[in-house]
Amino acid sequence: MKLQLALDLVNIPEAIELVKEVEDHIDIVEIGTPIIKIEGLKAVKEIKEAFPNLDVLADLKTMDAAGYEVQKAAEAKADIITILGVAEDESIKGAVAEATKQGKKILVDLIAVKDIESRAKELDEFGVDYICVHTGYDLQAVGKNSFEDLLTIKGVVKNSKTAIAGGIKLETLPEVIKAQPDLVIVGGGITGQDDKKGVAAEMQQLINQG
């Protein structure tokens, strides 16, 4: 099980400072959708240059022109690129084909997918690397989380790895770990804490205990 730090509400220099604090305790650093929209793919490039030993995920949340967007993220040295599960099948297949050509990985974000079980089955057959259940900020704000959805996809996914994102905190991490996802994605649960390094270290320890 791996830990991914999600960086969303910061600029590039702030992102570099944050990663410096916790880099010993994370496996993957995510350049979040808001950063990419504001700063562009240079955010991915600069973080990869600053932290070559960490995998970098570009949270493009691609909806169309998937092969092209994956190609551009690969040029910026992203290791993993995200596409939305609600995108057309052709887009998902295009993303997988381009990522395979570039030696990169695809994570499909199930945010806003209504029938999680059926879509996860289909995505698994398309050969995506990760399938991620995700409660975005706007549903977190009305008290939702993705813990049950994780159990649902774990029941049907056979080949892809599973991931979970959305409002995970140190207190809720043990419940997530029980369901054994391959990847746990945490943003505010680390970046919003005073002792970011301490919280990331505790999370890493819990994850390693499995």
Ligand X SMILES: O=C([C@H](O)CO)[C@H](O)[C@H](O)COP(=O)(O)O
Q: Is 85 in the site for ligand X (CB under 6 A)?
A: no
Q: Is 33 in the site for ligand X (CB under 6 A)?
A: yes
| CB 135, min distance to ligand X, A | 7
What number of other Cβ atoms are within 10 A of residue 184's Cβ? 23
Q: Is 34 in the site for ligand X (CB under 6 A)?
A: yes
Window 42 to 71, contacts with ligand X (CB under 6 A): 59
What 3 state SS string does 105-131 have?
A: EEEEECCCCCCHHHHHHHHHHHCCCEE
Q: Is 137 in the site for ligand X (CB under 6 A)?
A: yes
Long-range interactions of 110-117: CB distance < 8 A, separation 24+:
110/85, 110/134, 110/149, 110/153, 111/61, 111/84, 111/85, 111/86, 111/135, 111/136, 112/84, 112/86, 112/136, 113/85, 113/86, 116/149, 116/152, 116/153, 117/152, 117/153, 117/155, 117/156
> How do strand 2-7 and strand 183-186 relate by DSSP bridges?
parallel
C-alpha angle 185-148-164 in degrees, rounded to nearest 5: 10
Closer of 59 and 129 to ligand X (Cβ): 59
Query: Of 27-35, 64-72, 97-105, 113-121, which segment contacts ligand X by CB under 6 A?
Result: 27-35
Question: Quick one: which of 26, 28, 120, 185 contacts ligand X (CB under 6 A)?
Answer: 185
Q: Is 188 in the site for ligand X (CB under 6 A)?
A: yes
Q: Is 136 in the site for ligand X (CB under 6 A)?
A: yes
Closer of 68 and 137 to ligand X (Cβ): 137
Closer of 91 and 145 to ligand X (Cβ): 145
| CB 161, min distance to ligand X, A | 17
Window 151 to 170, contacts with ligand X (CB under 6 A): 165-168
Residues at the site binding ligand X, with contacts judged by CB under 6 A: 6, 8, 30, 32-34, 59, 136-137, 165-168, 185-189
